[in-house]
Structure 1
Amino acid sequence: MAIRNASALWQGTLLEGTGIVRTGQGGYEGNYSFRSRFQEGEGTNPEELIGAAHAGCFSMALAKALTDAGFPPTSVETAAAVHLEPVDGAQTVTRIDLTTTGEVPGIDEAEFVKLAEATKTGCPISRLLAPGTEITLTANLI
């Protein structure tokens, strides 16, 4: 069983404070603040990190599904748009729109879309988020 770690340090009040998020293996460290989360300030935010995790997980899972189906991909690129909005007075991630593009020799568009749709519900991060978060998918073959 894999256990992955991350940490965050927040200093100060919600509006004036700042923080740093880090992954456990040292692969990423980023600053965040109220402005970077709820406005357009510099830095990252938890929603972007969830989007990066989801896009990374989905791309790897789709590469596996394609390979297992006999179509090893040259590349799979996925973007995730994470929607944060108030629900019952609390900020909530309500939807994630995945857009994936695959360069996959020998596959047709219909098969690519079918495998991408199956991956949308099967990748671990989708499974984590799906009970309360709508996940949409646009899949494009190049």
Structure 2
Amino acid sequence: MIDRKAHAVWQGNGKAGKGHITTQSGVLSDQPYGFNTRFEGAPGTNPEELIAAAHAGCFTMALAFQLQEAGFTATEMTTESVVTLDKDGPGFKVTKSALTLTATIPGIDQAKFDELAHAAETGCPISKVLNAEITLKATLKQG
């Protein structure tokens, strides 16, 4: 079992309040977040951005392992995750994570690439934890 942790500190009410997020690794250290960073584009982070980063990273690493098991090594894989936050009654809900992958993988054919990308899409731990629609647009570049 592997445990990872982060903590958040919040001061004030929901809209005017402010918080800071710190991760165990220190990559985020007292990173500001609040209503303005979540809904108004102010500098800082927000939970949806962090989920998007986690999903893009997890999926890409999962695909690297899928490729390795199948005897392939990517020259480069670039993944973007767009996480959608929608109104849900009086609150909000993450409803979608749209993954877009562009990969250069020598020697692989389109069918095998599609198979392994789909396996990574459904098999990565972050995909498994998300209670949201997950989509994947995967492009294999020649090279």
Q: Give the TM-score range, shorter chain.
A: over 0.9
Classify the secondary structure of the residue corresponding to 1:91. Answer: strand
Q: CA deviation at 1:113?
A: 1.6
1:5-24 deviation per Cα after TM superposition (whole angstroms, max 9, x unaligned): 10111112211121111111
Classify the secondary structure of the residue corresponding to 1:4. Answer: coil
Match of 1:137 in 2: 136
Output the amino acid matched with 1:49: L
Distance 1:97 1:50 in 2: 12
Match of 1:97 in 2: 98
Work out the number of aligned pairs and report it: 140
Q: TM-score when scaled to structure 1?
A: 0.93
Distance 1:110 1:69 in 2: 13
* Farther-moved stretch of structure 1 (26-35 vs 56-65): 26-35
Match of 1:18 in 2: 18
Matched, 1:55 2:48: no
1:29-67 deviation per Cα after TM superposition (whole angstroms, max 9, x unaligned): 321110111222221100000110111100100000011
Q: CA deviation at 1:85?
A: 0.7
Structure 2 unaligned spans of 5+:
none
Classify the secondary structure of the residue corresponding to 2:67. Answer: helix
Match of 1:122 in 2: 123
User: For the Cα contact (< 8 Å) 1:62–1:76, is it kept in 2?
Assistant: no
* Farther-moved stretch of structure 1 (77-86 vs 28-37): 28-37
Q: CA deviation at 1:139?
A: 0.5
Q: CA deviation at 1:93?
A: 0.1
Q: TM-score when scaled to structure 2?
A: 0.92
1:65-109 deviation per Cα after TM superposition (whole angstroms, max 9, x unaligned): 011111111222211100001123320000110011112111122
Q: CA deviation at 1:110?
A: 2.4
Distance 1:17 1:88 in 2: 22
Distance 1:88 1:11 in 2: 25
State percent identity of aligned pairs: 49
